[in-house]
């Protein structure tokens, strides 16, 4: 991008799109030219401790970075795909300076900025991978806080994904206001519990 005249390209990615619980997060990162942070790669394959260390380096070295969320209410209102795009747009809008080009993992962002939407972009672009790390770290920190409110769902370990322990807890305790009630596993539990209550 810089070879083509762009001075401040930003990488953008989201985290938590497939979760059953909590908001979706997104991050945007502008890295300096020639940035060398060993270990930056797709956040999903980076061990948690290393992910936190990399996030610290990214924040230190980046020209600009921003993390934003779209709430559960927004996910339910406009669907998870559009909510992911909304969180990405908010992350980009939070950058200072603003980027002149966007490298986005898979999705297209509704902004008047030239962009390239890359399949598996976090494996191709270092700035997208950096954004994926920041988004996941910030979302995981939020889920750790929400775990204190709802420890029965194991959020500190499952991060809101539909793991067997989370699904078992959903079946036992029902859904909270932080659960994505439109998602099939959550909806199925809610419908089953409502049916059981009708026959009690």
Neighbouring C-alpha atoms within 13 Å toward the C-beta of 98: 8
Give me the pLDDT at residue 19, please: 97
Q: Which residues contact 101 (CB under 8 A, 6 or more apart)?
A: 1, 6, 8, 9, 10, 113, 114, 115, 116
Burial class (CB in 10 A: 0-12, 13-18, 19+), 161: middle
CB 44 within 8 A of CB 137: no
**pLDDT above 90 covers what percent of the chain?**
83
**pLDDT above 70 covers what percent of the chain?**
98
Question: Whole-angstrom Cα distance, residue 140 to residue 134?
Answer: 10
Q: What is the mean pLDDT of residues 172-198?
A: 88
CB 86 within 8 A of CB 74: yes
CA-wise closest residue to 169 among 141, 150, 194: 150
Count of other CB atoms within 10 angstroms of residue 27 = 33
Domain ranges of the chain: 2-141
CB 24 within 8 A of CB 17: yes
**Could you report the per-residue pLDDT of 117-167, keeping only the tens digit for each?**
999 888 899 999 999 999 999 999 999 999 999 999 999 999 999 999 999
Q: What is the mean pLDDT of residues 11-22?
A: 97
Residues forming a β-bridge with 101: 9
Considering the domain delimited by 2-141, tell me its CATH architecture.
2-Layer Sandwich (3.30)
Question: Whole-angstrom Cα distance, residue 109 to residue 130?
Answer: 18
Residues forming a β-bridge with 65: 29
Give me the pLDDT at residue 55, please: 98
Question: Whole-angstrom Cα distance, residue 98 to residue 16?
Answer: 25
Give me the pLDDT at residue 190, please: 85
């Amino acid at each position: 991008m810089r070879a083509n005249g762009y001075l401040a390209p930003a990488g953008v990615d989201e985290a938590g799109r497939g979760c059953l619980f909590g908001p979706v997060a997104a991050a945007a990162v502008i890295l300096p030219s020639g940035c060398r942070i060993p270990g930056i790669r797709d956040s999903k394959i980076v061990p948690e401790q290393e992910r936190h260390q990399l996030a610290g380096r990214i924040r230190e070295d980046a020209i600009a970075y921003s993390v934003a969320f779209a709430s559960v209410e927004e996910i339910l209102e406009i669907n998870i795909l559009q909510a992911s795009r909304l969180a990405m747009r908010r992350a980009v809008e939070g950058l200072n300076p603003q980027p002149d080009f966007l490298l986005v993992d898979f999705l297209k962002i509704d902004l008047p900025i030239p962009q390239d939407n890359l399949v598996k972009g976090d494996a191709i672009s270092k700035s997208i991978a950096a954004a994926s790390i920041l988004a996941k770290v910030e979302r995981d920190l939020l889920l750790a806080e929400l775990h204190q409110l709802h420890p029965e769902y194991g959020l500190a370990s499952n991060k809101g994904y539909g793991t067997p322990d989370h699904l078992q807890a959903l079946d036992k305790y029902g859904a909270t206001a932080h659960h994505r009630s439109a998602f099939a596993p959550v909806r199925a539990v809610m419908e089953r519990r409502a049916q059981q209550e009708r026959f009690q």
